[in-house]
């Protein structure tokens, strides 16, 4: 029975395993530290799946507020590499899952002015997330993850994450009156829009990665 199952799996494979090139890569760059598993589909075509992560502390300002920020990128990718001129240069397209990525922000002080109103003993915290959970990717690169031996590979491209979505939460504390707290929440709703506008450039996230691959 076991031999029959193995035979069926072998018959379902379009290219014999011995004819396939396979490789594992490790990389670093604007998407953080990560790795790829790649395999050849055809002489000029290969596929790879990967994962990367990045934590980066980056402060940010709008017209009214300055935030302490922390960027957390968690990306899983599925890419197709096309080599029109041989094994070195390639064009890459695919999709990157960004659902685990977010930019956490919080006010730097418990006293701040928002929309002309000064609040003492309050705070703002929130997150900014990509507009798309599945971001299209397009780029160029050098090297092939599935190439035999130890090789260098690089990617330069753009991840189309969509316009960011901001969600801020106000904490009124005990110092604000009910009326002041209601005003703060109203001001926060408009601050969300401004935060999204300030970060709108990140709907095109640049990807620059370099790595080494071991192929078999």
Question: Please, what are the domains in the chain?
Answer: 22-215 (2.40.160.170)
- In terms of pTM, does the model score above 0.95? no
Name 95's bridge partners: 78, 136
Over residues 78-100, mean pLDDT = 92
First to last CA, the chain: 31
212, 151 Cβ separation under 8 angstroms: yes
Closest to 93 measured CA to CA, from 136, 133, 134, 131: 136
State the DSSP H helix or E strand holding residue 172, giving kind and residue range, or none if neither.
Answer: none
pLDDT in tens, 9-46: 333 333 343 446 899 999 999 999 999 999 999 989 99
CA distances, 55 to each of 31, 70, 75, 92 (Å): 10, 7, 12, 25
**What confidence score (pLDDT) does residue 155 get?**
97
Residue written as tokens 């069926």?
Answer: 8
């Amino acid at each position: 029975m076991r031999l029959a199952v193995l035979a069926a799996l072998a018959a379902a494979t379009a290219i014999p395993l011995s004819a396939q090139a396979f490789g594992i890569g490790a990389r670093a760059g604007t998407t953080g530290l990560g790795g790829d598993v790649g395999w050849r589909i055809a002489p000029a075509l290969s596929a790879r799946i990967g994962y990367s992560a990045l934590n980066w502390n980056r402060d940010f300002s709008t017209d009214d507020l300055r935030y302490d920020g922390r960027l957390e990128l968690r990306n899983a990718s599925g890419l197709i590499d096309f080599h029109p001129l041989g094994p070195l240069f390639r064009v890459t397209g695919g999709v990157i899952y960004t659902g685990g990525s977010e930019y956490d922000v919080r006010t730097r002080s418990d006293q701040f002015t928002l929309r002309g109103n000064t609040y003492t003993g309050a705070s703002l915290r929130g997150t900014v997330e990509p507009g798309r959970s599945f971001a299209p990717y397009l780029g160029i690169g050098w090297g092939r993850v599935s190439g035999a031996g130890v090789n260098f590979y690089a990617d330069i491209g753009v991840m189309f994450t969509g316009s960011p979505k901001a969600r801020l939460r106000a904490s009124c504390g005990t110092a604000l009156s009910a009326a002041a707290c209601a005003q703060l929440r109203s001001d926060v709703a408009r601050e969300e829009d401004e935060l999204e506008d300030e970060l709108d450039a990140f709907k095109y996230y640049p990807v620059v990665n370099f790595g080494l691959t071991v192929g078999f």
